[in-house]
Amino acid sequence: MNRIYLDNAATTAICPEALAAMLPCFGEHFGNASSIHSTGRDARKLLEEARRTVADALGAKPAEIYFTSGGSESDNWAIKGTAFANRKKGNHIITSQIEHHAVLHTCQWLEKQGFEVTYLPVDEYGLVNPADVEAAITDKTILITIMAANNEIGTIEPIPEISKIAKAHKIPFHCDAVQAVGAIPVNVDSWNVDMLSLSGHKFHGPKGVGALYIRTGTKVDQFMHGGAQERGKRATTENVPGIVGTAAALKKAIDNLEENGIRETYLRDKLIKGILDTIPYTRLNGHPLYRLPNNVNVSIQYIEGEAMLLRLDLAGIAGSSGSACTSGSLDPSHVLLAIGLPHEVAHGSLRLSLTDTTTEEEVDEVLRVLPKIVETLRSMSPMFDDFIHNQK
Ligand SMILES: *Cc1c(COP(=O)(O)O)cnc(C)c1O
């Protein structure tokens, strides 16, 4: 059976271009990029080419790109590194309630270290209000960190407006752009960010590789201590194959950004409309327009998301009921609660995330299968039974 993979917000398949770029780094170019001999210098050359590719994709300088072990490390480094580098100036951090756990749990840990964190609420679509950011600023504020696009509901935040406020108050601004990079145009200057996180495996690169953009002049403490790699800022022998693969995947994503965006938006909207039109008591989560081209998130009332996922899986369709981290736990997603969904509605949510290889046939197959699954599950649901009886 051909599997239909619609969980690209959790991770993507590595693309042939990335794999082809990586393979020689496991063979001929296996060197340590810090070594003086030619095997090392070969690896160094590949590493620095990759750094330039990533920098170009973001409108940054190569010297502002630091490779890490993923989006989570980039978020941890940016937030903890800025917090401790500015400890004498203040202890207040501003973020939102719908950030990825890599940001939220880092902020919660910092609270235990004596920092104070404001978790801004969002509106019903998941948008942060820039005026709320401004109102939360105190003379102790040392960092504002807001994500570019939400990994669960796909809402795209007004980053240029928020960074303008940060700039006016001379507060460093970090943006978790892990879902945005490779999906929508990202430019560190037009967005006016001081730090920005990305992760290779979200745009068809390998897992375990990310990057942190740090604008020249931004004060960030070192996170990983050891050797002098990454210009003395991040120790450990560079993961040359992973970095080279990430750069190749990013280049491909950026070269095809507009075309993929148009295709995915069409398929996304077909999927959303199809679900809302054919399945009663269903709502779209996230913003209808300020939305990632690949994200569909719906709440289907009176059923359990997990049961729906298992049945979809049996039908060959891979989706998600929240983020990969929240599936497997019974707590409803913090993002769905933050946009105001009651627990029982949040529990019946389904995220389908598309990519450039998603076909219209696959979307049509989901639209054929999903309504039947929902009907079966609702026919077994006492909640739905009660609801229908009360309607009469
Ligand atoms: C996936 C994701 C991360 C974590 O990235 P990893 O590379 O898996 O550590 C962080 N933030 C967002 C918004 C994500 O979607």
Determine, yes or no, domain membership for 354.
Answer: yes
Atom of ligand 1 at shortest range from CA of 209:
7
| Domain stops at, among 230, 255, 280 | 255
Q: Are residues 173 and 284 in the same domain?
A: no
Among the residue ranges 182-191, 259-268, 325-334, 367-376, the one predicted with the least confidence is 325-334
Determine, yes or no, domain membership for 363.
Answer: yes
> Residue 152: is its pLDDT beyond 60?
yes
Q: Are residues 209 and 274 in the same domain?
A: no
Predicted pLDDT at 317: 98
Q: Which residues contact 205 (CB under 8 A, 6 or more apart)?
A: 14, 15, 18, 242, 245, 246, 247, 248, 249, 250
Atom of ligand 1 at shortest range from CA of 151:
15
| Domain stops at, among 234, 255, 276 | 255
Say how many Å lie between the CA of residue 179 and the centre of ligand 1.
7
Say how many Å lie between the CA of residue 82 and the centre of ligand 1.
19
Q: Are residues 87 and 214 in the same domain?
A: yes
Predicted pLDDT at 2: 81
Predicted pLDDT at 325: 45
Report yes or no: 318 and 7 within 8 Å, Cβ to Cβ. yes
Residue 319 and residue 350: Cα distance in Å, rounded?
A: 7
Q: Are residues 246 and 269 in the same domain?
A: no
Determine, yes or no, domain membership for 234.
Answer: yes
Q: Are residues 251 and 329 in the same domain?
A: no
Determine, yes or no, domain membership for 9.
Answer: no
Predicted pLDDT at 182: 98
Report yes or no: 120 and 136 within 8 Å, Cβ to Cβ. yes
Say how many Å lie between the CA of residue 277 and the centre of ligand 1.
32
Q: Are residues 175 and 280 in the same domain?
A: no
Domain, as residue range, for 177 = 16-255
Q: Are residues 138 and 184 in the same domain?
A: yes
Domain count, the chain: 2
Say how many Å lie between the CA of residue 339 and the centre of ligand 1.
20
CATH number of the domain where residue 178 is located: 3.40.640.10
CATH number of the domain where residue 380 is located: 3.90.1150.10
Q: Are residues 293 and 359 in the same domain?
A: yes
Q: Are residues 49 and 192 in the same domain?
A: yes
| Per-residue pLDDT band at 1 (split at 50, 70, 90) | low
175 lines ligand 1 (CB under 6 A): no
Predicted pLDDT at 328: 53
| Domain stops at, among 255, 273, 297 | 255
pLDDT tens readout for residues 179-205: 999 999 999 999 999 999 999 999 999
Q: Is 325 a catalytic residue?
A: yes
Q: Are residues 247 and 134 in the same domain?
A: yes
pLDDT tens readout for residues 306-337: 999 999 999 999 999 854 444 555 678 999 99
Determine, yes or no, domain membership for 25.
Answer: yes
Q: Are residues 340 and 246 in the same domain?
A: no
176 lines ligand 1 (CB under 6 A): yes
Predicted pLDDT at 323: 44
Backbone angles phi, psi at 169, to 5 degrees: -100, 5
99 lines ligand 1 (CB under 6 A): no
Q: Identify the residue whose C-alpha is closest to ligand 1 atom 14.
A: 178
Mean pLDDT, the chain, whole residue set? 95
Residue 318 β-bridge partners = 5
Q: Identify the residue whose C-alpha is closest to ligand 1 atom 3.
A: 71
The pLDDT of 225-247, averaged and rounded, is 96
Say how many Å lie between the CA of residue 323 and the centre of ligand 1.
10
Determine, yes or no, domain membership for 2.
Answer: no
Q: Identify the residue whose C-alpha is closest to ligand 1 atom 12.
A: 178
Determine, yes or no, domain membership for 3.
Answer: no
Ligand 1 pocket test, candidate residues 96, 151, 178, most atoms within 8 A of CB: 178
Residue 151 and residue 176: Cα distance in Å, rounded?
A: 10
Atom of ligand 1 at shortest range from CA of 207:
7
Q: Are residues 165 and 226 in the same domain?
A: yes
Kindly give the pairing relationship between strand 141-145 and strand 116-120: unpaired
Predicted pLDDT at 91: 98
